[in-house]
Chain A
């Protein structure tokens, strides 16, 4: 109940912001923070609650983005329809990847590497085929109006993303209190012990990666309408994958509000980094790398875990320990 109230307070606190803040810079900043929160929420489902650390969530994000862009440009499908189909397509890609990876019992760093590899494969494919615009990318025509999920002002995107983030908060809250969530967390903590209690880890993880992929795909669809452009590096490049995993790790793995907190914190840090270091390309990734090391070493429970006993923190340390020994 307390969490539901917290979600409501969060919603009501952010809702009037576009009316109060007139700076375009800050509205854009908030909109992007919400976008990365949403992407992070997708990752958190699988990584935070399921303990499966994907290093290639761009795979789902990019599939959603391309799906909606191609449908809109080539087939004239409405952006909202594209949004739904993007989620479906990315969910299918998630299920396919999950089926392959979990069937062979890949865990930990091996799972991370395979997701990274899949994203790379899709990046190369998107670079090759003409219907994805190859290396040039796709320009989505500007058709302002709610009907095409494009808004006259940045405030429209802010509200859309706020709704999506709140929807995801509610979904995460529901999941944490449902049989599926209990099973997913059991698999994260100890797969053999979960099996001994009748939990099928394969189908549990498969469902998680499908849901996670679908949400990341819908984030891709929103991205396309926001920036009106997509190319293989944006869609399937490692930058998006890193954002997706860093946001919940900074905020707090396997917590409902972790990704939201992480997205705001990360983007404040990124902004400061840009002020200090200037616009040197790739430098923000160096900063992110440093941040990741610091988080794993000193704050494995994320900002949300400050002053709180660990909840799923072991997973992070285990992953990096295992990689160190592998």
Chain B
């Protein structure tokens, strides 16, 4: 569905995306992980049209989307969330979500109804009339997800929607994301919460210093020595192994 081909991007002398290639399969949940500054968000910014790559190609459903504006790319069916949440602070939750719902719905009533159903899906149903500025961190993350979802995307790019959430909140959002995939939306996510990555993703790529250093199922990644060295560390890798095999360490 989404093919990244030899993507390269530099900011001045710093190579932030270095010859990165991967393919996201339709209907899957894939994860892009790696240490801070590895260039994950920059790849998202290039897919969604906010940054122009210096080299390589991004193909969505067989067609190159290089050079398209963010709004055009959204119209094609790729929606993104922002790592630093970007609510429309002066609008309430319903109005926030309706902006995206209007992409394929001209009528106000239809857009508001769609916004409400999306809000219920992500667990914001009780807060529809709250100003976005009054939401908690968890609420804002959900709003970010709801806004992206309201554009009826085929591919959803989720940039750390679980960062800053407590374990209980993470447990709540994991089934929501799984539900979105079940409704037919392909998902590519950036995440540091390894529990969620292990739990959700079919395929994982590991990025370090702008380069892909590993690719595979989460279980394969967890045992990859390069990944353990660059990102996971030995403790986390052991815990992930344990989680996979069902053995609990005290």
Contacts and interface: CB of A to CB of B under 8 A. Distances in A.
A in complex with B: yes
A189 B69 contact: no
A190 B89 CA distance: 8
Given A195-B71, A196-B70, A198-B151, A182 B87 contact: no
Interface in B126-148: 131, 133, 147-148
Nearest to A312: B90
B90 A192 contact: no
A197 B131 contact: no
Label chain A's interface by main secondary structure.
helix
B91 A189 contact: yes
Contact of A179 (B88, B89, B106): B106
Interface in A287-313: 309-313
Interface in A190-228: 190, 192-201
B74 A183 contact: no
Contact of B87 (A177, A178, A190): A190
Nearest to B132: A189
Interface string A163-194: 00000000000000111001101101110111
A189 B106 contact: no
B111 interface: yes
A190 B80 CA distance: 15
Nearest to A310: B90
Interface in B146-168: 147-148, 150-151
B90 A183 contact: no
A192 B86 contact: yes
B111 A179 contact: yes
Task: Kindly name the residue among A183, A192, A198 whose own CB sees the greatest number of chain B CB atoms within 10 A.
Answer: A198
Interface stretch (B9-17, B95-103, B232-240): B95-103
B91 A185 contact: yes
A313 B100 contact: no
B95 A196 contact: no
Interface of B: 48, 50, 69-71, 74-75, 79-80, 82, 86-91, 95, 98-100, 102-103, 105-108, 111, 131, 133, 147-148, 150-151
Interface of A: 177-179, 182-183, 185-186, 188-190, 192-201, 254, 309-315
